[in-house]
Amino acid sequence: MEKSFLTFESRFECGNLRKAIQVRQFEYDLILSPDINTVSNLQWFYFRVANVESGVDYRFNIINCEKPGSQYTSGMQPLLFSVREALEGRPYWIRAGTRVNYYRNHFNRLSVGKSSADGATYYTATFQIRFPHTGDVCYLAYHYPYTYTRLLTDIARWQEQANGSHSDPVYFRVQSLTTSVLENPVPVLTITSARTNEESRQQASPDSVTTAKPQYRPYIFLTARVHSGEANSSWVIQGLLDHLLSDHPSAVQARQQFIFKIVPMLNPDGVICGNHRCSMAGKDLNRRWSNPSLFNHPTIYHTKKLLHLLHACDRSPFIFIDFHGHSRMKNIFLYGCSPFESWKNPDTDNPTYRGPGLGEDPSYRHLASILDEIAPAFAKRSCLYVVNKSKETTARVAVWREFGVVRSYTIEASYCGVTRFAGQPADSNSSDKTAPFVDGHQMNPFHLKSFGAQLIDAFIRLPSHTDRLAIRDLMTNVPDAPAQFILEGGPEFTGEPSDISFAQPPLCSSLHSRPGSPSIDSACSLPSTISPGSSAHSLSSHSSLSARLSRSTSSRSSISLTDG
């Protein structure tokens, strides 16, 4: 007798589903796993469904969501990946689902360390899915997955791209900033132009701020994926790097004008294990920037150490951006820091405040204005510059205060979509939380990657008269440090940790399985035929990293992976 029920699986990289309960013939209640070492942060889901029938409307109810609001009530749909479609040449994630809704249910929320006497309950995200093929194997996800495996694959591709033929030679270096709690290497990328002094002088226009000495170029420091479920931030970084390493004139100018330091995944453990927000320590890493622990928050600790090194060399970044995803608002927008919108009154302990009666340095507002002009998905009207007390320990505010970075931002990309596109005027009377959804304008990786490329264009447009003087000041008022010290981070980053190279199969065996899960190897394995998380890649270590990696990883056969 054939099975009359669906089968579920989530024990693969980024997967999250704890339990499925069949409540009717074609309806299932689903329970998500909380972030490891917590009882909360229930939002990200990613699981496999098998034994499906076509022509049937299956209803899925995720009954332990936490947030009181969701874009599921404003037109957002979950993501569907069909293995059958992939085998037939269409390996794409698609928005799918009808009768999508989000509402408060009657299940009491589990609370630790807080009173639950207020009767707080969970919320239900519900949707119907009609699968395209009988007997198909499909994946459902909250957003387009971007795995740690995919990041390593992309890094190998970026290395090849940088090594290719370029009109402007590219300096591209990948290093391991540190290892995570589960001993996964955390890559940091350094990108700039590799032109010689004389070549740079010949290429620079009379009005250009390009410097002939690479070690004097100002820094742009970018981080992403501190919250593991915010995969949209990784797609923005991918698009930014694809463009930055190209021969496009804006990319060439950006490389000649700046040094880019990029930490593309601050929370690889959370990404691998399917967490939504926290690290293995059960903590929100974006609330640990004031005093990160070397042992519990090593990725934040070492990222901050690198920023401290630059600051000690009088090379604090010209721009710092931490990329995030937003679940309750549309569009892409940013948060900055204004001393006149701060919880402190007066707020003088920051680089933006000019002094009594002198106001503030307004240059931090320029980026939003430029992006509003050139990026269709960006909404300046959604940008805020408030510094709340609760945000003092976030990257944006800590970097602003401690390292004197006037242009310190958080950039948020909606999981859902946009309320305006080029040629469509913004409705100043509508709220981004309730504005009518524009049909067909749900964002996908193409839109997110396009925004990453548009950011590069914005960076080179930033130097208005005021910002141009700031850049030139950064160039001239720096110690005459060796180029290698400035580019590579100084002595503490030239030996330990060592560079990342790519020669062996992907390794994920440091993934800790959830309670009740099978062994580590099976928990981190991906489907043997086609899996939608990333592409096949290889990883190996050498020098001082090899010993640590040999303890934390074991060989695994190469996996064929496809992503849309």
Q: Report the catalytic residues.
A: 412
Interatomic CA distance for residues 25 and 7, integer angstroms: 13
Q: Which amino acid is at 120?
A: A
Continuous H helices in 502-553: 520-524, 545-552
Tokens 């009882």 belong to: 39
Question: Rounded CA gap, 413 and 326, in Å?
Answer: 6
The answer for residues whose C-beta is within 8 angstroms of residue 255's C-beta and 6 or more apart is 168, 170, 171, 191, 192, 193, 244
Burial of 219 (0-12, 13-18, 19+ CB in 10 A): buried
Phi first, then psi, for residue 150 (nearest 5°) are: -65, -40
How far apart, in whole angstroms, are the C-alpha atoms of residue 267 and residue 374?
31
DSSP 436: P
Distance CA 98, CA 61 (A): 13
Amino acid at residue number 486: I
φ/ψ bin of 274: left (φ > 0), alpha (ψ from -120 to 50), beta (otherwise) = left
Contact (Cβ atoms closer than 8 angstroms) between residue 320 and residue 258: no
Q: Quote the distance between the C-alpha of residue 282 and its chain's center.
A: 19
The 8-class DSSP code of residue 506 comes to -
Look at the block and give the residue holding tokens 């040629």.
423
Q: Which residue has the tokens 């339990």?
A: 19
Q: How far apart are CA 143 and CA 444, in angstroms?
A: 9
Element (H, E) at 354: strand 353-355
Cis ω before 497 (30° cut-off from 0): yes
Decide: 498 and 533 in contact? Cβ < 8 Å: no
Q: What does the alpha-carbon distance between residue 155 and residue 242 come to, in Å, rounded to a whole number?
A: 10
Return d(Cα 122, Cα 64) in angstroms, integer. Answer: 5
Residue 393 and residue 288 in contact, taking contact as beta carbons nearer than 8 Å = yes
Phi-psi region of 95 (alpha: psi -120 to 50; beta: other; left: phi over 0): beta
Tokens in use for 6? 């669906």
